[in-house]
Amino acid sequence: DLQGPTASEPPPAAATSIAITHHSRVVFPESGVTKGDLANYYATIAPLMLPFARDRPISLVRCPQGRGRKCFFQKHDAGSFGDHVRHVSIHDKDGDADDYLYVDDTDGVIACVQMGAIEFHGWGSMVGAVETPDRMVFDLDPDEGLGFAETRRAAEYLKEQLAELGLTSFPMLSGGKGIHVIVPISPEATWPEVKSFSERFARALASADPKRFVATMTKSKRSGRIFIDWLRNQRGSTAVMPYSVRARAGAPIAAPVSWTELREIETAGVWTLRDADKLLRRAASPALAGWGMARQTLPDV
């Protein structure tokens, strides 16, 4: 049904022309977070998220019945996103073209929320240069039972090893269990080159310290270890975007942090959708100045 906003359910305060229907529909049953809350969150933090999430192919985690029910990844427009969500045609490995979604402004983000999106995931390359990634991600996935402290130490170790190679990296709490170590790069190397670099890096760490790290996805091999998920760095893969809400209990946020702050952090889900104002203040603080930004290229190794 097409029930619009009513007087008791005001539309999002921030600047967006997108009408949100079903404001009071509960999307996170444990915490009572509604679709209107979700739209307000995204309208507020869009200025923080867009520098990282705009103009790159995205996958959305949509949960039309709320996060307790069936959720799915959506990469393509089913015809209903409207004009504010843009399309880019990308060829697959067989040469067939397909339309992918991207957003370039707050209205685009909110139009996705109107369509039931909770999470925003993005490619490691931008729509204007799809074949040359501008971001490499090492997604640290701890085995069940490992504490956050182990994951945090692993992230710091990756930071040091990347620095040995001349690469600056930035940590992001996934909002789930792990940490993403993000390496911005100038869009010069191709996907196969970036994939190869990240695979060799992850495998080198795993073979140097096999009790601690594993570089293959197989869950059974993870026992007590941290999977360095380098597979995010292949063409067509995505990683959750900074400031995305996660479709998990309590509506945690994928949150940028500084390496110094990380030392004091005890969980991958520190902030929730209720913390939009805190996130805005944090983003303006010296700790996060320049987060995610570095001009650098992959070394020849």
Binding window for ligand ATP (CB under 6 A); candidates: 26-34, 82-90, 193-201, 234-242: 234-242
State in angstroms the smallest separation of the CB of 47 from Mn ion.
26
State in angstroms the smallest separation of the CB of 244 from ligand ATP.
9
**Contacting residue, 239, 245, 247, 251, with ligand ATP by CB under 6 A:** 239
d(CA 198, CA 182): 12
d(CA 47, CA 243): 10
**Contacting residue, 102, 141, 206, 222, with Mn ion by CB under 5 A:** 141
- Pair of tokens at residue 89: 């045609």
Strands 213-214 and 226-229: parallel
> Which residue matches tokens 């020849």?
300
Determine the distance from the C-alpha atom of residue 104 to the mean position of all C-alpha atoms in its chain, rounded to a whole number: 16
Closer residue to Mn ion, CB minimum distance, 141 or 275? 141
Number of residues forming the site for Mn ion (CB under 5 A): 4
d(CA 214, CA 216): 6
Looking at residue 198, its amino acid is: S
Binding flag, residue 152, ligand ATP (CB under 6 A): no
Phi first, then psi: what are they for 127, rounded to 5°?
-60, -30
- Pair of tokens at residue 129: 């240069």
Binding flag, residue 178, Mn ion (CB under 5 A): yes
> Could you give the 3-state DSSP secondary structure of residue 186?
coil
Residue 206 CB neighbours (<10 A): 19
Binding flag, residue 141, ligand ATP (CB under 6 A): yes
Closer residue to ligand ATP, CB minimum distance, 37 or 229? 229
Binding flag, residue 195, ligand ATP (CB under 6 A): no
* Residue 27: contacted member of Mn ion, ligand ATP, none (CB under 5 to 8 Å, by partner type): none
Could you tell me if 110 and 16 are in contact, meaning their C-beta atoms sit under 8 angstroms apart?
yes
Phi first, then psi: what are they for 171, rounded to 5°?
-90, 145
Closer residue to ligand ATP, CB minimum distance, 109 or 240? 240
Binding flag, residue 245, ligand ATP (CB under 6 A): no
d(CA 280, CA 207): 41
The candidate with the shortest Cα–Cα distance to 171, out of 141, 137, 203, is: 137
**Contacting residue, 37, 107, 119, 229, with Mn ion by CB under 5 A:** 229
**Contacting residue, 268, 276, 283, 288, with ligand ATP by CB under 6 A:** 268
State in angstroms the smallest separation of the CB of 139 from Mn ion.
4
* Residue 72: contacted member of ligand ATP, Mn ion, none (CB under 5 to 8 Å, by partner type): none
Binding flag, residue 139, Mn ion (CB under 5 A): yes
Binding flag, residue 74, ligand ATP (CB under 6 A): no
Q: Which residues bind ligand ATP (CB under 6 A)?
A: 59, 73, 121, 139, 141, 174, 176-178, 229, 232, 238-240, 268
